[in-house]
Each structure stands twice: as C-alpha cells, then as structure tokens.
Amino acid sequence: MNRDPRWDSAVVAVIATAFTGPAARWHATLSTETVEKHRSVADIFRAMRKAFPINRGQVRLEAHQRRWEPRIEPAMMYAYDKQSMLRTAYSLVSSGPQHEIELAEIVDGLPDTMKPMIRLPPGSSNMDDLVHELCQWEYVWRKIHKIFLADEDTSQSSVETKTSDSGGRTSSSSRPKPAAPPKVVTESRPPTASTPSASPRYRYDPSKVVESQGDEPRKYLRENGPPMRLNRPCSRCGEQHFDFEHAFLKEGARAFPLVHVADYEVDTDENESDFV
C-alpha cells in the first residue's frame, strides 16, 4: 500500500467506480451518510467484510483439502495458493508457531513420493525455505515419475513422435562420412543393416484395459504382443491398476504416457521390446 496520505483519500474517492457485480449493487444501496463515514481504504474494506461474510468452516475445509495438481500447476504456485487459503481461513501470521503449522499443511498437500525430498530446518524454517526446496526438487521429481505440466507433456509427445517417424534415417544422416577405405566396406553392406529401426512405441489407451475377473488379474491389451498382466499394485497409490493408468484414473489427465512393460508380466515369454 502506498504510504502517501494523499493516496488513501484518492482511492476512497474513486474506488466505487471499480466495483462490479454484488459489490457494485451493495455500494449503490448505501446511504450518503454511510458513504461519508468511509474516510479511508481500511474503512471500506472493513465495511465490505461485514457485508460479505465468509463461511469459515467451508474455507478451512477447502484449505485443508487443497492438494498439488502437478499436471496443471508448478509446485511453487500451489504453495503460495495454499498459503493464502490457510491465512484466510485461520488469520495466520507470518511468523511463530502458526507459521510452522502453515508450512506443514503445505507440505502435506504434496504427493507422498515428493514429501521426503523436502528438507526444512526445524524451528527456524520459513516460506522462502520451502519455496527454495520446491524449486530445487520439483524438476527431479517430475523426471523420476514422468509427470509433467500438460503443455510440457504435449511438447514431449510431439518430439518423441517426430523422432520415431524419422527412425534410422535421422541417425544415419547425422553420422559423419567415413574416410575413403571404410567407405567401400560400408557400401557393400545392405542399407538396412547399418541402422536398426526404432522400437515401436504406443501410448496408453483406456479402451484396451481388461478388468479383473475371478482369478484373472487386470490386463492391458498390447498393440504388438500378448496382453500385460497386473502383478503388483500401483506404485503411486497402492490400488489395483497399472502405474501408467494412475494419472488418467486419479487425476483426470488426458495426455497419456508411453506404456512400459519392463515391470509387468505378459501371458507368454515373447517380449521383444520394452514398449508395447
């Protein structure tokens, strides 16, 4: 806030023109005597808080339930948003025991796989320390778990598709030309033998999931091989589905990951590629 005393009176004189919706209708119903009592911006804010009360129970519930959504926001944006919600719900101050509770609540909204990465000094940590930790470890966490922001995930998909389409042609053209003697040997080889084609890769398709029936576990129908069999719970939430299904089932993601079968059983021993 500007500390110039003339700023306060200037804002009071024009703030009514900036009101919209319910605030504009509320201000229009005020009597002239009431408006004249608003001598400062603080007076107007105080009157608005009285005119538009909040349900603190609902606000506190929403603050506690706020979780980081890694596919649609950076971790730092989540932290500042939850901090604002907590301070609105509990009128928390910027230091003291309540501040420690605030930081603990923010960390609690992170995925269980990221919480151990965040190290805060006990008794003396602040929001700057938490933001520093989030900035340092968010990139590492995303790389490990292959969870990216929606626009980043789309960009990576485009790069992978372009690389797969170019195949051996790109890799062979990027190599420097050999000297004259080896060139004769190279030309004598079949063109397709020098550069193997890229392994096929396919993205997760929810329609290819076969639900478990009786003793038969959950399965996923591959494009180029026997079905995959679910032989362990999801490593992220512990429920009975494949790891690559988690973002779709639990977070509503629409940018589907590549399906990797290295950690899952298949109905036969044929497994020529790590990707379906």
Task: Return mean pLDDT, the chain.
Answer: 79
Q: What's the rounded mean pLDDT across residues 53-61?
A: 90
3-class secondary-structure state, position 63? helix
Is 87's pLDDT higher than 60? Answer: yes
Residue with tokens 């009975």: 240
Residue with tokens 């399965």: 219
Burial 246-264 (b: 16+ CB within 10 A, else e): bbbeeeebebbbbbbbeeb
Burial 75-85 (b: 16+ CB within 10 A, else e): beebbebbbeb
Q: What's the rounded mean pLDDT across residues 15-31?
A: 93
Q: How far apart are CA 206 and CA 204, in angstroms?
A: 6
Q: How far apart are CA 204 and CA 198, in angstroms?
A: 19
Q: Do the strands 219-220 and 209-210 form a parallel or antiparallel pair, or are they unpaired? A: antiparallel
Q: How far apart are CA 204 and CA 245, in angstroms?
A: 8
Q: What is the pLDDT of residues 202-247, one digit of tens each?
A: 677 888 888 888 888 888 887 777 888 888 888 888 888 888 787 7
Q: What is the pLDDT of residues 147-182, one digit of tens each?
A: 999 876 666 666 566 655 555 555 545 555 555 555
Bigger pLDDT: 24 vs 245: 24
Residue with tokens 């591959």: 222
Is 94's pLDDT higher than 80? Answer: no
Q: How far apart are CA 112 and CA 108, in angstroms?
A: 8
- Nearest 10 degrees: CA dihedral of 82, 84, 87, 90? -50
Q: What's the rounded mean pLDDT across residues 101-130?
A: 92
